[in-house]
Structures are given as C-alpha cells and as structure tokens.
Structure 1
Amino acid sequence: MEHRKKHFSPRPKSPLPLLVGRKPVAEALEQGQSVEKIFLLRSATGEDISHIKQLAKERNVPVSQVPVEKLNNLTKTQHQGVIAWTSLLEYVDLQEAISFITDKGQVPLFVLLDGVTDVRNVGAIARSALCCGAQGLILPTSHAASLTEEAIKTSAGALRQIMLCRIPSVPQAIDILRLNGIQVLGTHLKASVPVFEADFTAPSAIVMGAEDTGIGKDVIKRADQLIHIPMANSFDSLNVSVAAGMILYEAAKQRLLQ
C-alpha cells in the first residue's frame, strides 16, 4: 500500500508582533504601549475582559470580537480569549496634533480616511500627504487598515514621519476639526465644486472614502464643502491613493503660490 506524506499548511504569519493573554494585553494598555488591534473571543467574559474593553475605548484601540478559530490561527499559545497586535508606529491625539501644528505657526492640512482598508492605499496616501505638506493622517478605529510593515513599506517610510491620529469615528473627527476652525472637504464624484476651486490655503482636512462606496453619508452631511476631480471623459474610476495625490498636489500648489 502506498503511504502518502501528509501535507500541513503552515500557520499564516501575523502581520504584526503579538501580545497573547489577558494580563499581557491589559498591562500593555495600562502602560500606554502602542497597540494596533485587539482580538477578543466572542464568548469571553469577566472583569479582566471588561477592563480591557474600557482601556481600549479610552485609547482608541480597535477591538474585534472573533470566533476561537481566528485566535487559534494567530497563535498556538494559550491565549485566554485575548490577542493583540502591537503597533509598529505611534499615534497622536488629534487635538494635540492640531495644537502642535498651530503652535508652530503652520496652517493645518490633514487627510481623513473614511473606510479605506487596503494597507497599500493607506501607505501610498501617507507618502503623497507627507510630500505635499500635510502634517497628519487621521484614521478611524473601525473600517480602517491596520498599519502593518507592508503599509510602512508602501509609504516609503512616510508613515513614520507624518503624525498619525486614531479616533473612534469619522463624525467625531469632523467635529474636532471644525471646532478648531479646520474646514472639512469631502471628495465626492457628484460634487459641484472642482478641486481647483476649493481654497486649500485655509486650515483644511481632506476626506478620502473607500473605493467601492466613497465617503459616508455622515461626511456628506457634515462636510463644509464637497469637491471632485474633473475627468476628461466619463471614466471615473480613479484609485483612491491616486485621487488623494492629485488633490494634495493642488493643495500644495495653492500654498506654495500664496
């Protein structure tokens, strides 16, 4: 009888270093260690789980409740229903970032991502943002890409130089921006204002949406202005990172010519 060698597929490599177990994850949060994302077993309960959830909320760390198979796929170690990805980057509070920019006498220019989940797009946008003079990139805790080594590589290191601000939601970010006198410009295919008619010399935040759905309804309602990139024909399928680069260059041009 022929004996066939069994084939075992290797365990997928985690895109970021892991913290495993309830106590290590809680301690990392308590000590202010930069955590990219937390995975909690859906059925996990107890005071320590509630504590981790509360700390994550206070520090704007995304929490994903998952089945046990997801956790077992991340590690062979006893995980107690809790695993976290530690971050390769540091995050800055949005209000602190705004104050830092204005205290230096600079005019704020931010890029706010609404549903952009592809790490390569995030990396490319960060690269264009830094090159065009934007000081900060704002990322919501949900429906956002995790900033892995691939994102950093795609950004050519820009993600290590630009300020990264993580906030619970896009509407909350818009409220903070507007309270600080920063206009919010939403990008929308059906907007009536072409990008070159927007005034980027004023304190500004450009909102880029997901490629399939664009910016959310909350952004459309709350934005100070909706802008679009005029096209030579009816083909309107620009990649989000390319579109961001074009808008950011217009902002840089206006500021350089001012």
Structure 2
Amino acid sequence: MKDETLVFGIRAVMEAIISGKTIDKLFIQKGLHGELSKELWKQIKENGISFSYVPIEKLNRLTRKNHQGVVAFISPIEFHNLENLVLDVIESGETPLFLILDQLSDVRNFGAIIRTAECTGVHGIIIQKKGGAPVSADTIKTSAGAIFNIPICKVDHIKDAIFYLQGSGITVIAATEKAKGTIYDLNLTNPTAIIMGSEGKGISNSVLKLVDEQAKLPMHGEIASLNVSVACGVFLYETIRQRL
C-alpha cells in the first residue's frame, strides 16, 4: 500500500477520524494505554470504527517511524450509502444490477472484479466492513482506475444488505458451485444482485440461506472451480447478453 494512505501516531489517527476520513484498517498495539489513547478510544467508539489488536512487531513492519502503537490505513475512495444508491438507481429508470462480495480476501481479485463490473454497467459493489479485502494501492492498480468510476458501499453485515435489496424488489442470486441449476437457467433481465464468495470458502452458508436463487457455472475440466474474478465476469456478461 502506498505511503500516503498510511497514518501513524495516536494524534494523527485521531485527526483522520475527526476529519471524516474513511479508515480502511486500524491496527492497535496490545496493551496500549495513557491519557492520549483514552481520547483515541473515545473517537473509535463514537464513530464505530473497526480495529484489530496486533503485537508491536506487526506495527514495526508497517512503519519504522514512531507509531506510538497505532497505525491506520486511509481509504483512497469515499464509500457510498447503500440505501441512497439503490433509490437513485431505481429512480433513474434503469434496471438495477448490483454485485455483493462475501468476504473476498485477495486485493487483486477485488481489483479485477471492480474493473469488470465497471465495464458491464454494474450500479454498485457491496462489501462488508470486516473481513474483506481492503481498497489498497494494488486494488486500484488492478482495477485500472475503474474503482473511481463505480460506487462501492460498505455495510456492517451482508445479510442486512440482502434484506434491503430484496425489500427494494431486487432479486438476489448466489453464484455457487453448490447450486443445482446453472447460470443459463436464470432470468437476469429483472433487477438483480449477484453474490460472489471468497476464494477459499465461497459464499457462507448463512448467506446462502437468504438468497432468492442459486446458480453455478457448468464445468467440464478436472479442476472444480474458476478464479472468482473470472467467474464473476461470466455472470456479469451473461447478464449483459440477456439484457441487450
């Protein structure tokens, strides 16, 4: 990640939070204490910022400068509000097409998916605040800058996003090898949100229980699955084919 997205030191991180910057990752040394750190904890709590306790060795690897036990990564983009975005798309008269990424972890896959999503007219990408790949310099590079042209929404829980989309008349479809039917059995001409899972585990079972439909890609080789960014591209271009 580029240096300009890294902020270190208690006061510097507090200023970033107070000024409304989007904190992508926040690492705090185990056992951090002191008067200034109390102010930091207050800001973290008031703004609902997620953080991870880490040993000092990890912080030292991130920066050799005096980090005071706190290192944060500032997101290079501003995230969108899901509810506002969905309403805007519906009011525009276009047929909604959203992409949900369930715990995708590889930043290059994330960037490749963003690039394809932008090329296929996806109205917004939905990710969870915790557990997924960050918006890093590698993400931006792999997206070929497409990340600046497509809205990305961060939500507390994927499940809540699914409920909201369904309540807005949008069919939620899981791309999963566990499905009985294939992508070619689907009608993708209606308002649609497609869920792609993580590289290792796929879509979590708790999320699969909530979706409207499931579909897989037909596979004829010895390898049982495709790279997630490739699979995502197939789903999105089949959607385009049906909508043309």
**Alignment TM-score, normalising by the size of structure 1:** 0.86
**1:16, 1:148 within 8 Å by CA — same for their partners in 2?**
no
Q: How big is the shift at 1:81?
A: 2.3
Unaligned runs of 5+ in 1: 1-12
Name the counterpart of 1:208: 196
Q: How big is the shift at 1:233?
A: 4.3
Equivalent-residue separation in structure 2 for 1:204 and 1:16 (angstroms): 37
Match among 43, 57, 60 for residue 52 of structure 1: 43
Match among 112, 116, 120 for residue 124 of structure 1: 112
Equivalent-residue separation in structure 1 for 2:3 and 2:192 (angstroms): 33
Name the counterpart of 1:26: 14
Unaligned runs of 5+ in 2: none
Match among 55, 60, 65 for residue 72 of structure 1: 60
Match among 13, 26, 29 for residue 41 of structure 1: 29
Which residues in structure 2 correspond to 1:129-168 (within 5 Å)?
A: 129-168=117-156
Q: How big is the shift at 1:22?
A: 2.3
SS at match of 2:42: helix
**1:16, 1:149 within 8 Å by CA — same for their partners in 2?**
no
Match among 81, 85, 99 for residue 97 of structure 1: 85
CA-to-partner distance for each residue in 1:120-142, whole Å, 9 max, x for gaps? 10111111111111111111122
Name the counterpart of 1:231: 219
**2:188, 2:239 within 8 Å by CA — same for their partners in 1?**
yes
Q: How big is the shift at 1:112?
A: 0.8
With over 3 angstroms needed to count, the CA separation of the structure-2 counterparts of 1:144 and 1:51, relative to structure 1, is same
Equivalent-residue separation in structure 2 for 1:247 and 1:183 (angstroms): 14
CA-to-partner distance for each residue in 1:45-66, whole Å, 9 max, x for gaps? 5532432332452xxx542221
**1:41, 1:68 within 8 Å by CA — same for their partners in 2?**
yes
Q: How big is the shift at 1:87?
A: 1.5
Code of the residue aligned with 1:86 in structure 2: it is: I
Equivalent-residue separation in structure 2 for 1:205 and 1:164 (angstroms): 14
**Larger CA Rg, structure 1 vs 2:** 1
SS at match of 1:236: coil
With over 3 angstroms needed to count, the CA separation of the structure-2 counterparts of 1:114 and 1:76, relative to structure 1, is same
Code of the residue aligned with 1:229 in structure 2: it is: L
**Which segment drifts farther, 221-230 or 242-251?**
221-230
With over 3 angstroms needed to count, the CA separation of the structure-2 counterparts of 1:127 and 1:62, relative to structure 1, is farther
**1:15, 1:149 within 8 Å by CA — same for their partners in 2?**
no
With over 3 angstroms needed to count, the CA separation of the structure-2 counterparts of 1:40 and 1:188, relative to structure 1, is same
- Say whether 1:244 aligns with 2:232: yes
Identity of aligned residues (%): 37
CA-to-partner distance for each residue in 1:73-107, whole Å, 9 max, x for gaps? 22233323221111211211111211221222222
Q: How big is the shift at 1:168?
A: 1.7
Equivalent-residue separation in structure 2 for 1:84 and 1:165 (angstroms): 20
**1:22, 1:48 within 8 Å by CA — same for their partners in 2?**
no
**2:18, 2:43 within 8 Å by CA — same for their partners in 1?**
no
Equivalent-residue separation in structure 1 for 2:12 and 2:32 (angstroms): 16
> How many residue pairs end up in the alignment?
241
With over 3 angstroms needed to count, the CA separation of the structure-2 counterparts of 1:55 and 1:16, relative to structure 1, is farther
Q: CA RMSD in A?
A: 1.9
**Which segment drifts farther, 217-226 or 61-70?**
61-70
Code of the residue aligned with 2:16 in structure 1: it is: A
Name the counterpart of 2:167: 179
Code of the residue aligned with 1:135 in structure 2: it is: H
**Which segment drifts farther, 184-193 or 237-246?**
184-193
